[in-house]
Amino acid sequence: MKKFILTVGPALLHEVPLREIHSDKNIYRINGAHGSISQIEAYITEIRSQVPGAEILMDLPGNKVRTKDVPDQGIGFVKGKEFSIPSGCFNYPDFYRHLRPGMTAWANDSIYEFEVVKADADNITFRSKSDGVLTNGKGVHIRDMHQDIPFLFEKDQELIRIANIFHLEYVGLSFVRSAENVREAKALLADGIKVISKIETKDAVNDIDQILPLVEYILVDRGDLSTDIGIMNIPRYQEYIIGKAQYYDVKVFLATQVLKNMELKPIPTIGEIEALYEIYKSGVYGVQMSEETAVGKYVRETVTVLNDMYDCVKSESIE
Sequence spans of domains, the chain: 3-64+150-315, 75-147
Domains 3-64+150-315 and 75-147 share a fold: no
Higher pLDDT, residue 143 or 136: 136
Strands 123-128 and 82-86, bridge-based pairing:
antiparallel
Q: What percent of the chain has pLDDT over 70?
A: 98
Does 75-147 carry CATH code 2.40.33.10?
A: yes
Report whether pLDDT(318) > 70. Answer: no
pTM exceeding the 0.95 threshold for the entire prediction: no
Q: What is the pLDDT of residue 109?
A: 78
CATH 3.20.20.60 fits 3-64+150-315, yes or no: yes
The closest alpha carbon to 141, from 176, 167, 106, belongs to 106
Higher per-residue pLDDT: 145 or 203: 203
| Residue scoring higher pLDDT (196 or 319) | 196
**pLDDT surpasses 70 at 317:** no
